[in-house]
Chains A and B, each alone.
Chain A
Amino acid sequence: MATSEGQPSWATNALRWLSNHIKAIVLPIVGIGIFLIIWSFAASKIDTSLGKFPGPTAVATQVVNLYQEHNTEREKEAAFYQRQEERNAKRVAKDPNYVPKIRAYTGKETFIDQIGTSLITVMSGFAVAAAIAIPLGIAIGLSKNLNTAINPIIQIFKPVSPLAWLPLVTMVVSAVYVSPEPMFAKSFLNSMITVTLCCLWPMVINTSVGVSAINSDWNNVSRVLRLPSLVHVQKIVLPASIPAIFTGMRLSLGIAWMVLIAAEMLAQNPGLGKFVWDEFQNGSSQSLSRIMTAVFVIGFIGFLLDRGMLQLQRIVSWDKASANR
């Protein structure tokens, strides 16, 4: 704007620099601000049978509440362990043969505990899926015959809502996983396997597409060098298909997080989904604002997971452009 006769002055440069930074910092702030205004306006207009729809202040209050509840619970936990030690000591005094045992805290899971549970579940499910899907995807990508054989199965299972699996998973886990001292809780396995099932397909498909699309020159090089097939996979196939594999992984993780919350809601498995459902069932005047808080936390964590995956992709993948897709 301030150019005179095509000669850029320092002022124009400064302005350009400023406007770029203004764009990067101010625009998101403006966006969020407008969102908050619309939200609080809309919230004040919606009357539910549980009171007004929660606005930004209600959510802010709940964030503080939930954090305080967490602290209170930790204090209770400390008291619990102390009582237990006293009780154990008493019993040892009475019965010297008794070997004292420390039992885990029996109190409720706080919001922060639930976040941790959900994160662990989604990561485990995702890791299991990756361990299965990537080798499978490579095999399918390498062999046309295998691809033709397995493709119909993938195409049929891919569009199934993972939640449809949940009842099946629940029943199968209950029937198969029987042990007096189980290493994992059944509820954890149910959520995790459901997550795994929904993560599989995008990873298998992306990996196989990536593998089958390898530049034929590279394959020819490998052939000329007479690389053994394992080395071929290790030196040529894997590095070449890394961008595609990561695209599949990012897709999967996004789906996994959405599915996990829904599965937890449906099956009452511990985690953020259970938190949301419990609050909905409580029907107290605070329930909606607590659910709204959970919604933001879920969204924020989903965003962080995606950024994390992206960062990993940038570090690992040679094709930097693929990370921005």
Chain B
Amino acid sequence: MGQALVAGLCLSSSVVSVSVSAEELGYPEKEELKFGFIKLTDMAPIAIAYEKGYFEDEGLYVTIEAQANWKVLLDGVIDGRLDGAHMLAGQPIAATIGYGTKAEIITPFSMDLNGNGITVSNEIWKQMKPNIPKQADGKPVHPIKADALKPVVEKYSEAGKPFNMGMVFPVSTHNYELRYWLAAGGIHPGYYAPHKGDTSGQIDAQALLSVTPPPQMPATLEAGTIYGYCVGEPWNQQAVFKGIGVPVVTDYEIWKDNPEKVFGITKAFAEKYPNTTIRLTRALIRAAKWLDENDNANRPEAVKILSQSNYVGADYDVIANSMTGTFEYEKGDKRAVPDFNVFFRYNATYPFYSDAIWYLTQMRRWGQISDDKPDSWYFDVAKKVYRPDIYMKAVQSLVDEKIMPATDFASLDGEDGFRSPQTHFIDNIVYDGTKPNEYINKFNIGLKAGDKI
């Protein structure tokens, strides 16, 4: 049964436009499913697929359950307590290469672009503010670079005090984003050395990063355990509402339209239940489309759903702040960020190999991958984890059954899984997914070819 799935990584160009071999999709092999998520707004496609009945349309009866933290969630998927989950893009990749827990997890669906921010405490913001240039209206110029934070960190280290910051998981987008931003501003976030048993990631560090689960970030910041953090929404806006911190930069400004969460399932699940896998992907694609339809017209309704206590549960106003096209930095400094969180536009749901490779380059950059690897290794890992073949089968059947028009996916025509070189990084370094080693060597801070801790 699984052969059909394993067989093809061939992304034939005609896959969308032609519907000759319209083979009817069978009933799901497993109908009762349990999906996990973390209380973050980017879990929206799962909540919407449930609430709008897209899962039921596929004959899937899905229970959705909030998880305590990313580790519990990952373990749940690996040991089968959960059938699938909203995951950090780095989780399936790290599991496949055996960093942390070893398991074969794949993703047929990328959940969103952007959606994170970096927040610092009021005290740190006060110290950063004099270093930030002002606009004509007196408000700080955005994007704010870590250059403004560097003197503050140096002051702390001269006083012999550690500069602690929080991120959500060692292989999280947030860890890499926070590191990227710090390093771009000349602050060293520290290396990992798993071959020596050091997985704290604080070797040579000027800013000490540690793990805190997303919903606990504001409370941890308030308690003074950390001075800043990188997390997804609504936990940056929550800091503004609670008056305990100031978001200084969004991930949209660190890397415009960066890939974020994915939907993860085990490889064994996908092979054992191919129809179920395609069907759940279909439901998620429809939900993503609904979220972005008509210029985000459905977002207020989505926010209402997400504010239910069984989903994200934060107040409507807090969630709406980022989900409806704006973002509030310092209290009262609300700015338009129409693409703060993208679910469908710009092929957000397609699992690009180049996205997986970017994560791998960052794992190598910070030492989570101890040794040099040839470019081909990066491609192989990406192809093992990211599964556009399943995604395209789901798309094909949606188009065949006239549930979605082919025009929704027109730009995926002839897609080879690699985005063209991306330029919108805060440090202006260009990322070309076809040349991972070349990319790694471009950074001032970080391991380069031949380096070893």
Interface residues of A, Cβ cutoff 8 Å to B: 49-50, 83-84, 87, 91, 101, 103-104, 106, 108, 174, 186, 267-268, 277-279, 281-285, 287, 290
Taking A268-B67, A278-B66, A281-B215 as contacts, is the C-beta distance between A103 and B61 under 8 angstroms?
yes
- For the complex, what is the distance from the CA of A206 to the CA of B72, rounded to whole Å? 38
- For the complex, what is the distance from the CA of A103 to the CA of B243, rounded to whole Å? 45
Residues on B with beta carbons closer than 8 Å to the beta carbon of A83: 53, 56
Residues on B with beta carbons closer than 8 Å to the beta carbon of A277: 68
In B2-52, the 8 Å CB interface with A consists of 27, 31-32, 39, 50
Report yes or no: B56 in contact with A284, Cβ–Cβ below 8 A. Answer: no
Taking A49-B218, A278-B66 as contacts, is the C-beta distance between A285 and B243 under 8 angstroms?
no
**Least Cβ distance of A48 to chain B in Å?**
9
Residues on B with beta carbons closer than 8 Å to the beta carbon of A84: 56, 61
Residues on A with beta carbons closer than 8 Å to the beta carbon of B318: 284
**Least Cβ distance of B52 to chain A in Å?**
13
Taking A49-B242, A103-B61, A106-B61 as contacts, is the C-beta distance between A281 and B222 under 8 angstroms?
no
**Least Cβ distance of B24 to chain A in Å?**
11
**Least Cβ distance of B80 to chain A in Å?**
9
Q: How many residues of B contact A (CB 8 A)?
A: 36
Is B381 an interface residue, CB under 8 A from the partner?
no
Taking A49-B243, A174-B79, A268-B72 as contacts, is the C-beta distance between A282 and B56 under 8 angstroms?
no
- For the complex, what is the distance from the CA of A87 to the CA of B61, rounded to whole Å? 12
Residues on B with beta carbons closer than 8 Å to the beta carbon of A106: 32, 50, 61-64
What are 30 of the A-B contact pairs (CB < 8 Å)?
A49-B244, A83-B56, A91-B59, A103-B31, A103-B32, A106-B50, A106-B64, A108-B309, A174-B79, A174-B81, A268-B66, A277-B68, A278-B66, A278-B310, A279-B309, A279-B313, A281-B39, A281-B66, A281-B215, A281-B216, A281-B313, A282-B309, A282-B313, A283-B238, A283-B313, A283-B314, A284-B307, A284-B315, A284-B318, A290-B309
Is B369 an interface residue, CB under 8 A from the partner?
no
Q: Name the residue of chain B whose CB is nearest to the CB of A287.
A: B313
Q: Name the residue of chain A whose CB is nearest to the CB of B309.
A: A282
Contact of B309 among A101, A103, A104, A284 (CB under 8 A): A284
A91-B27, A106-B64, A108-B309 known; 13 other A-B pairs, CB under 8 Å? Answer: A49-B243, A50-B242, A103-B31, A103-B32, A174-B81, A267-B68, A268-B67, A278-B310, A281-B66, A282-B39, A282-B314, A284-B313, A290-B309
Report yes or no: B56 in contact with A87, Cβ–Cβ below 8 A. Answer: yes
- For the complex, what is the distance from the CA of A106 to the CA of B83, rounded to whole Å? 14
Residues on B with beta carbons closer than 8 Å to the beta carbon of A281: 39, 66, 215-216, 313
Interface residues of B, Cβ cutoff 8 Å to A: 27, 31-32, 39, 50, 53, 56, 59, 61-64, 66-68, 72, 79, 81, 215-216, 218-219, 222, 238, 242-244, 307-310, 312-315, 318
- For the complex, what is the distance from the CA of A103 to the CA of B244, rounded to whole Å? 45
Taking A49-B242, A106-B61 as contacts, is the C-beta distance between A284 and B81 under 8 angstroms?
no
- For the complex, what is the distance from the CA of A186 to the CA of B53, rounded to whole Å? 28
Residues on B with beta carbons closer than 8 Å to the beta carbon of A283: 215, 218-219, 238, 313-314
Give 8 nearest A-B pairs by CB, closest first. A282-B313, A281-B215, A108-B310, A49-B242, A103-B61, A106-B63, A268-B68, A284-B315
- For the complex, what is the distance from the CA of A281 to the CA of B72, rounded to whole Å? 15
Report yes or no: A278 in contact with B315, Cβ–Cβ below 8 A. Answer: no
**Least Cβ distance of B110 to chain A in Å?**
25
- For the complex, what is the distance from the CA of A57 to the CA of B389, rounded to whole Å? 56
Report yes or no: A282 in contact with B61, Cβ–Cβ below 8 A. Answer: no
Report yes or no: A282 in contact with B215, Cβ–Cβ below 8 A. Answer: yes
Residues on B with beta carbons closer than 8 Å to the beta carbon of A284: 307, 309, 313-315, 318
Residues on B with beta carbons closer than 8 Å to the beta carbon of A290: 309
- For the complex, what is the distance from the CA of A267 to the CA of B222, rounded to whole Å? 24
- For the complex, what is the distance from the CA of A289 to the CA of B127, rounded to whole Å? 36
Residues on A with beta carbons closer than 8 Å to the beta carbon of B309: 108, 278-279, 282, 284, 290
Taking A49-B244, A278-B309, A283-B218 as contacts, is the C-beta distance between A186 and B81 under 8 angstroms?
yes
Taking A49-B244, A103-B31 as contacts, is the C-beta distance between A282 and B312 under 8 angstroms?
yes
Residues on A with beta carbons closer than 8 Å to the beta carbon of B72: 268
**Least Cβ distance of B116 to chain A in Å?**
17
**Least Cβ distance of A12 to chain B in Å?**
58
- For the complex, what is the distance from the CA of A87 to the CA of B388, rounded to whole Å? 30
Q: Name the residue of chain B whose CB is nearest to the CB of A101.
A: B31
Residues on B with beta carbons closer than 8 Å to the beta carbon of A285: 315
**Least Cβ distance of A112 to chain B in Å?**
14
Q: Name the residue of chain B whose CB is nearest to the CB of A98.
A: B27
Q: Name the residue of chain A whose CB is nearest to the CB of B39.
A: A281
- For the complex, what is the distance from the CA of A283 to the CA of B314, rounded to whole Å? 6
**Least Cβ distance of A76 to chain B in Å?**
10
Of A279, A281, A283, A287, chain B has the most CB atoms within 10 Å of the CB of A283
Residues on A with beta carbons closer than 8 Å to the beta carbon of B310: 108, 278
Contact of B59 among A50, A87, A108, A282 (CB under 8 A): A87
Residues on B with beta carbons closer than 8 Å to the beta carbon of A91: 27, 59
Q: Name the residue of chain A whose CB is nearest to the CB of B81.
A: A186
Of A83, A84, A267, A282, chain B has the most CB atoms within 10 Å of the CB of A282
- For the complex, what is the distance from the CA of A186 to the CA of B76, rounded to whole Å? 11
Residues on A with beta carbons closer than 8 Å to the beta carbon of B79: 174
**Least Cβ distance of B161 to chain A in Å?**
24
- For the complex, what is the distance from the CA of A101 to the CA of B312, rounded to whole Å? 32
Residues on B with beta carbons closer than 8 Å to the beta carbon of A278: 66, 309-310, 313
**Least Cβ distance of B447 to chain A in Å?**
34
- For the complex, what is the distance from the CA of A83 to the CA of B56, rounded to whole Å? 9
- For the complex, what is the distance from the CA of A272 to the CA of B312, rounded to whole Å? 18
Residues on A with beta carbons closer than 8 Å to the beta carbon of B312: 282
- For the complex, what is the distance from the CA of A267 to the CA of B50, rounded to whole Å? 25
- For the complex, what is the distance from the CA of A277 to the CA of B72, rounded to whole Å? 15
- For the complex, what is the distance from the CA of A290 to the CA of B310, rounded to whole Å? 13
- For the complex, what is the distance from the CA of A147 to the CA of B199, rounded to whole Å? 47
- For the complex, what is the distance from the CA of A186 to the CA of B82, rounded to whole Å? 12
**Least Cβ distance of A305 to chain B in Å?**
27
